Amino acid sequence: MNNPPSFFSVVVLCVMGMIPLPAFAQPVVLDRIVAVVGNESVLLSDLNAQVEFYVFNNHVDPNTRGLQKQVLDAMINEKLILTKALEDTNITVTDDEVVNRLDALIARNVQQAGSEKKLEDIYGMPISKMKHEFRDETRKQIFAEKLDQLKFGDLQVSRREVEEFFVQYKDSLPRVPEELELYHIFKLPKPSDRAKNAVKAKAHAILDSIKVGGDFASFARRYSEDPGSAVAGGDLGFARRGQFVKEFEEAVFGLQENQLANLIETPFGIHIIQLLERRGESVHARHILFKIQQDSTMSAQAIEFLKSLKDSIAHGADFSDLAKRYSDDKETGPLGGLLGSLTVDQFDKSLVQTVQNLKAGDITDPVEVDYGTSKGYHIVYVKKRIPEHAMTLTSDWKRVEQLTLVYKRNTEYQKWIKQLRDEIYWETRL
């Protein structure tokens, strides 16, 4: 029996579509070219940065034999694809595509770094310079991605290919982890009108002060209860649609630059929001958050309500109908409370632990769960439980089909890379 194809365990070494990495702290060495591909070159500093990036993200020994050459080969392959893409006159990349990609990448990096200032410290340059420095590289990456999509985007596999793949590799295919189909009904303890009005009164007073000239950043540092942004004067950096909760997103995307919104209530609390800048579908906003504190009475009411729903279900009520009517989870409620039909490794670990001793058809008692910066409660219904098992064509056709497609794509990709290495000049100087 042949060994399984490498894609079962391989991790992509260099990711197209990311902002180039700054070199990690390391001894100063003279930079030099370690590979040439067409008109593109790979510098030793670039290679070292990508090796360290791979080591960090995959927890491997940096002294692994052949690692540097493996990473360099992957970088050469990317340069080959880029060179071919730039030669293809049918592929075009607009300025808007480059700007939108850069905005999205920087927004994601800001979120990961914690703030724009932290990201600027990491790269040693302001955001504006990043956009200038990385513009050409980003355009090239989009060219390469479009060629890759053009080459393999329509690739499909036949039923016969799936069956032949399964026969050849069935003894080496990974086992399917246990699968769960889970639903829940979530309740957020409702604050009393008195508690909510007290918080709104405080927020209104600060909003009025800002409107007459008070310093937003100063108020945010003093009063905001969002620990992630308060220290930065409430600054949230750039974000795209889908990164905020619905109420916040609707408010911020409806503002003009420098405009303040009226008080906005979200599951996190009461917000003062100001839009600082808009770039296409990205917005740069800041906010001041005032939490509405929960008390034991509010929590007890939510717990008792969920217990009454569980009792109703035990007497014949439909779980999905009750979820649609009563769940405070606006994403899953309309779906009857569906959390997903997934393998256990795809669910949150705490959720798996909550249902670990339940069998199909069981419902948990009310369980406390984090909801933003607050606490809520839910009951979880285990509708289906499929034990861990070896893949079969009968029960796991879609999985085997996907693995077959990945294998076929990998095979075709390797053939293409070999062809490009024959057509395009390249050399290593490592």
How does pLDDT run across 296-332, given as a tens digit for each residue? Answer: 788 899 999 999 999 999 999 999 999 999 999 988 9
Start-to-end C-alpha separation, the chain:
37
What CATH code would you report for 193-290? Answer: 3.10.50.40
More confident residue, 122 or 13: 122
The 10 Å Cβ neighbour count of residue 426 is 18
pLDDT at 29: 52
Q: Tell me how far the alpha carbon of residue 231 is from its chain's centroid.
A: 24
Query: CA 74, 79, 85 angle in degrees (round to 5)?
Result: 130
DSSP for residue 308: H
Is 126:117 a contact under the CB 8 Å cutoff? no
Largest CA distance in the chain: 77
Q: Quote the CA–CA distance of 387 and 390 in Å, as a whole number.
A: 10
- CB-based burial of residue 319 (10 Å sphere; 0-12 exposed, 13-18 middle, 19+ buried)? buried
Torsion of CA 197, 202, 205, 206, to 10 degrees: -140
Intrachain domains 6-159+400-428 and 193-290 with the same fold: no
Q: For residue 379, what pLDDT band results from cuts at 50, 70 and 90?
A: very high
* Weakest-pLDDT range from 103-112, 156-165, 343-352: 103-112
Domain spanning 6-159+400-428: which CATH class is it, in words? mainly alpha
Q: Check whether 57 has a pLDDT greater than 80.
A: no
Q: Quote the CA–CA distance of 340 and 327 in Å, as a whole number.
A: 16
Q: Where are the alpha helices (DSSP H) in 124-245?
A: 127-133, 135-152, 159-169, 193-211, 216-223, 227-230
Q: Tell me how far the alpha carbon of residue 333 is from its chain's centroid.
A: 22
Structure tokens, 403: 């693995």
Structure tokens, 121: 């410290």
pLDDT at 325: 96
Q: Check whether 355 has a pLDDT greater than 70.
A: yes
CATH 3.50.50.60 assigned to domain 179-190+295-386? The reply is no
Partners of 217 in the beta sheet?
Answer: none
pLDDT at 9: 33
Domain ranges for the chain, please list them.
6-159+400-428, 179-190+295-386, 193-290
| % the chain with pLDDT above 90 | 59
Whole-Å CA distances, 331 to 328, 335, 364, 371:
9, 8, 20, 13
Whole-Å CA distances, 288 to 217, 240, 395:
9, 19, 51
Structure tokens, 35: 């590979």
pLDDT at 18: 46
> Any idea how long the chain is?
430
Instruction: For residue 215, give every residue at least 6 positions away whose Cβ sits within 8 Å of its Cβ, in sequence order, or none.
Output: none
Give the residue from 359, 397, 331, 381 showing the smallest Cα distance to 166: 397
> For 342-351, which contacts have Cβ atoms below 8 Å and span 24 or more sequence positions?
342/179, 342/180, 343/176, 343/177, 343/178, 343/179, 343/180, 344/177, 344/178, 344/179, 344/180, 345/177, 347/180, 347/182, 351/182, 351/380
Instruction: For residue 367, give every residue at least 6 positions away whose Cβ sits within 8 Å of its Cβ, in sequence order, or none.
Output: 354, 377, 378, 379, 380
DSSP for residue 425: -
